[in-house]
Chains A and B, each alone.
Chain A
Amino acid sequence: MADQVDSMSDAELRTKLAEHGFPIMPITASTRKLLVKKLKLVLDNKTKPRTSVDNKADTRRSLARYSSGEESDLDTTTNAKEKRGRRATTGGAMLPPAANKTRRPPPKKGSPAKRDSDKGSESDEEKPAVRTHEEVETVTTRTIKRTYAANDQDDYETGSDSDVDADKKTSSPFRSNSRSSDYISSTLPSVDVGVGISPPKTSVFSRASIIPTNYSSSYSSTLSSSDNLNSIRSRLGLTSSLADRPTIIPSSSYTSNYSTNTYQPSTSTIDEVESPYLSNFTRRLSALKSDPPRSTSFLDRDTNNGSTVLPRRSFVTGINRSDIGDYKSATDKKFLKNNLVSLALVVLVALFFFCLFFMYIVKKNDITSVADDQNSVIPICQLHIPGNRPGINCVPKEQVSYAKSLLKLIHPELTARIAAYKCGQPGSLPYLTEREIIDIASAKAETSDVSQCRTDLNNLQVLLINNPRWGLKVVQLSNLYTKDAEFTTISATDLIVQQRAKGTVAISLTDPSTPLSCLFINTLYSAGSSLIIIALLTLLGLGLQRAYKYYVLYQKRKSEEIYSMVEQIIDVISQETEDSGEPYISVDHVRDTLILPQNREKMASVWDAAVKFIQRNESRVRMEVQSVDGEDCRVWRWISPHSSPKRSASWQGQAFETQEGSVNNLVVSPTPCLKIRHMFDKNDNNSLLRVKIQDAILEKCDSHCNILHIDIDRTSGCVYVKCASPTDAGVVYRSLHGWWYEGRLITVKYLRLERYMQRFPASPSAGPFLAPKRHSRRDD
C-alpha cells in the first residue's frame, strides 16, 4: 500500500489525506513529498494489526510524533514530556526524507513476529477481502481493524487506557474531529466489556441505553463542536431503537438498514467522514445482539464492508430519493386529509354562487315564465263595454294564447338582434318592425294566413303596453328609412293605431342586456384604446422632455464653448501683445490662430458670439479699427496694466524649502514618475485644464528637465507626470513640491513606474519631450 502512495496523483493523494483527517492543502512540488510521507506513515500504522489500541491512539494523536512513530511500539506508558525530549534528540539526527523509506521496514518486521500468536490468523484472512475493494481500501481496513479489536479480549484493558490519554490531548479543533471519532471506536470495546461482564447493569438499563450514554458523554468531553454531537446523538437514537429489537437480526440486513437511514441526513462532509466509524459502531452492536459464531460473522462482515460502503453513492441517489418521494407523497396525503372539510366548504360555496348566477341568467331570459305569470294584466274584450275594440285596447279572450305564443316566437330573435346591436355589428337594429315580425311568424308557423298574424301582433302590442314588466316595449320609429336606431316608446294604445298606418311600429326590449362575450370585447376595446392613448401621450411627454433636455444641454455646451473661446482669445491677446510688443492684434489673426481651417465654418457662430461677448463684457480688451499693413481691419487692444497677469497668478511662492539639504528633499529620486496633488479643484470643469496644467508645470520647471507625459485625473484631483529619468523627476519634485499654485498648496510624491504604466499604458517611454504650448506656438 505504501508503494501505491508514491505513484498516486495529486487528487488521489488529497482525497486520501482528507479521509485520514488531514486538512486539505495544495499539493505542490515542495509539499508533496511531505504529504506522501505522512500518508505512508498513517497507512503503515493502519496495516499493523498487532499494535494495541493504546498505541494507535497515541501515535495518531499528535502528528508531530509521526517522525518518531516507529518507536511508539516500544514504549507507550512514557509521559509526554519524556517523549518530547526524545523527539528533540532524534529529530536532530534525522536523515532527509529519502532515507525514511529504508528506515521504515524494521517495525514492519517486528509486527508479524507478534502476529504469530493466536489472533494473527484472523487478520491474515481478512486481508485478501480488503484488497478486492480498492476504492474504499482505507475505510475497510479501518473497520476491519476495529472489529478485530472489538473481538479481541486482550485489548480491552488498554482500550480503557486510551480513554484517559485522549482526554489529555490539546490539539487544533480541526483535526480533533477525526481523531475523536477514532477515539470513539477505540473506546467502544471497553464499553462492550462493561456491558458484557456485568450482568446487573443490563438488568437495570437496557443495553442500548447504556452504550449511547457512555458513548456520548465521553464524546462530549473531547469534542466541543455541538452540532457534531447532535448529529451523532440523532444517529444514536436510531441505533438504539434498532438495538431495542428483541429479535436476532442478521448483520447484513442490519448494516443495510443503517446505511439507508443514516445517509439520509448526511449533507456535511464531516458526516461523510465519520460515517464509516458509525457504521462500525452499529455493526458491532449487531454483532453483540446476534452473537453468531465468530468466523462466519467475520466473513459476513467483510462482504458487507465492501458492499455497504462501496455503494454509498447508490444509496444516496437511489434509495434515499425514493424515500424522499414517499415522504413527499405521504405529506401530500396528510395535507389533503387535514384540509378536506375546509376544501369541501370552499367548493360548496363556489357551487352555490355559480348556481345562483346560472339561475339568474336563465331566469332573465325566460320569457315564457314571465308571460305565463298569473299577475299579468290582460285586458279581455267584453262585449258589453262599448269602448272595447279588439286589437286596440283589449284582447279577445280566445286570442290571448295566440298572442303569447307569438311573443315566445319572436323573443329569441329579438334578443339575438339586441345582442348583435349591442356588440356593434354593422346593419343590426335593436328592434323588430311589424313587417319583420309577421314574416317570422308566418315562416315559423307555416301558415300563410297573414291577417291572422296581423291580429295576433295587434293583440300582442296591446298586451305589451299593458304589461311593461314583461321586459318588452312597443316603440315608434322616428325614421323608417335610415339605419339610425332612433325610436320613442309608445305608452298608449291609441298612438299605436296612428303609427300602424305609417308602418313605423316596432317591438324592442326595455332593458337590453349585453352578452358577456360582447361586454368583454367592448371592455377590451375601450381599455386598449385608452392604453394606446396613454402610451401616445407618454411618448409625447418623453419626447418633449428629451428634446428639452437636449436643448438645455446644447445651450450649455454652446455657452461653454463660447466661454472657453473667450478665454483662449484673451489668453492669445495677452500673450501675443506681450510677445510681439504691439499693443493690439488683428481679430482675424486671433481667429486663425485658435481655430483650425477645417473648423472655421463650423465654429463661425461660436466665434461671433465670443467676439460679441468680449466686446460687451471684457474690460481689458478694447476693439478698434487699425490699419494693419495698409488695410483697415478690426483689432483687439490689450489694455491690461499687467503684462502677464496669469503667470504671476499661477505660481505664488514656496511654502517650505525643498532645496538641497532640507528635510523635505529626498537625496535620491527613486522613480521617474510623480503624482501631484491639489493642483486644481475637483469641480473645475474647464476642458482645457490639462493644457493649462501642463503649461504651468512646464513653465515652472522651464527647460531644466525632460518631461515625457503629463496627465490629470479629474476624479481624484491629481496630476501625473512622467519624466525621462529619475533625475529629471527629482528636478520636477524640487521645483514643484511645496509651492502655492493659484491659492492651493501642492504636494508631490514619487510614484512607481509600474503603477504609472498601469494607469497610463499609452504614455510614451521615450521620444520627444513635452514643450510648453506657448513656445511651440511662437515657433510656428
Chain B
Amino acid sequence: MSSTSQKHRNFVAEPMGEKPVTELAGVGEVLGKRLEVAGFDKAYTVLGQFLVLKKDKELFQEWLKDTCNANSKQSADCYQCLKDWCDEFL
C-alpha cells in the first residue's frame, strides 16, 4: 500500500483511547453500525479481536467480512490500520 488515507494517519497518530469504532480506517458509518450491533462499539474491542486472531491478516479480514459484511478493501484498510497502530504503540 503506497499511500494511506487521512483517516488511517489520524488513527495511527495517537493512542486510540476511547475512540469509537468508526474512527478505524475502512470502517464507515454503515460498517460501524453493524459492528456496534455485534457488540464492537469501540475501536479497542476490534483491536482485541485483532489481537486474539494473532494479527493474522487473512483470519482478521475473514472475521470482519463475517461480522459486518465488509469488502476486501475495507477489511484490508482496517487490518492495515490496526497493524500500524500496533507497530506504533504496542
Contacts and interface: CB of A to CB of B under 8 A. Distances in A.
Given A62-B58, A88-B71, A91-B72, A31 B65 contact: no
Contacts of B61: 64
B65 A67 contact: yes
A552 interface: no
Nearest to A84: B72
Contact of B66 (A25, A26, A34, A84): A34
A67 to B, nearest CB: 7
A33 B62 CA distance: 11
A674 B57 CA distance: 44
B34 to A, nearest CB: 10
A30 B52 contact: yes
B59 A63 contact: yes
A53 B63 CA distance: 28
A97 interface: yes
Contacts of A88: 71-73
Contact of A67 (B54, B56, B62): B62
Nearest to B40: A30
Nearest to A33: B66
B30 interface: no
A39 to B, nearest CB: 12
Nearest to B58: A63
Contact of A87 (B49, B56, B72): B72
Interface residues of A, number: 25
Contacts of B13: none
Given A91-B71, A94-B69, A28 B52 contact: yes
A31 B59 CA distance: 9
A62 B59 CA distance: 11
A34 B59 contact: yes
B44 to A, nearest CB: 14
A34 B65 CA distance: 10
A96 interface: yes
B66 A23 contact: no
Contacts of A87: 72
Contacts of A28: 52
Interface string B35-76: 000000000000001001110111101110110010111000
A621 to B, nearest CB: 59
Nearest to B73: A88
Interface in A1-34: 23, 25-26, 28, 30-31, 33-34
Contact of B58 (A33, A64, A92, A96): A64
- For the residues of B in contact with A, the DSSP-based class is helix
Given A34-B59, A88-B71, A88-B73, A25 B65 contact: no
Interface in A121-161: none
B63 A31 contact: yes
B27 to A, nearest CB: 15
B49 A31 contact: yes
B69 A96 contact: yes
A547 B65 CA distance: 78
Contacts of A34: 53, 59, 62-63, 66
B69 A25 contact: no
A23 B62 contact: no
A26 B52 contact: yes
Given A62-B58, A87-B72, A88-B71, A31 B53 contact: yes
Contacts of B52: 25-26, 28, 30-31
B67 to A, nearest CB: 8
Interface string A28-52: 1011011101100000000000000
Contacts of A33: 66
B66 A96 contact: yes
Given A30-B49, A31-B49, A88-B71, A94 B56 contact: no
Most chain B CB within 10 A, of A25, A35, A84, is at A25
Contacts of A84: 72
Contacts of B56: 23, 25, 172
Contacts of B62: 34, 37-38, 63-64, 66-67
A66 to B, nearest CB: 8
A91 B53 contact: no
Most chain B CB within 10 A, of A23, A34, A63, is at A34
A66 B61 CA distance: 12
Interface string A314-328: 000000000000000
B58 A91 contact: no
Contact of A97 (B57, B58, B66): B66
B58 to A, nearest CB: 4
A198 to B, nearest CB: 40
A92 B66 contact: no
Contacts of A96: 66, 69
A88 B76 CA distance: 11
A88 B58 CA distance: 14
B63 to A, nearest CB: 5
B54 A23 contact: yes
A57 to B, nearest CB: 17
B71 to A, nearest CB: 4
30 contacts: A26-B52, A28-B52, A30-B49, A30-B52, A31-B49, A31-B52, A31-B53, A31-B63, A33-B66, A34-B62, A34-B66, A35-B59, A38-B59, A38-B62, A62-B58, A63-B58, A63-B62, A64-B58, A64-B62, A84-B72, A88-B71, A88-B73, A91-B65, A91-B71, A91-B72, A92-B71, A94-B65, A96-B66, A97-B66, A172-B56
Q: State the 10 A-B residue pairs at the shortest beta-carbon distance, nearest first.
A: A63-B58, A92-B71, A88-B72, A64-B58, A25-B54, A97-B66, A34-B63, A91-B72, A91-B71, A26-B52
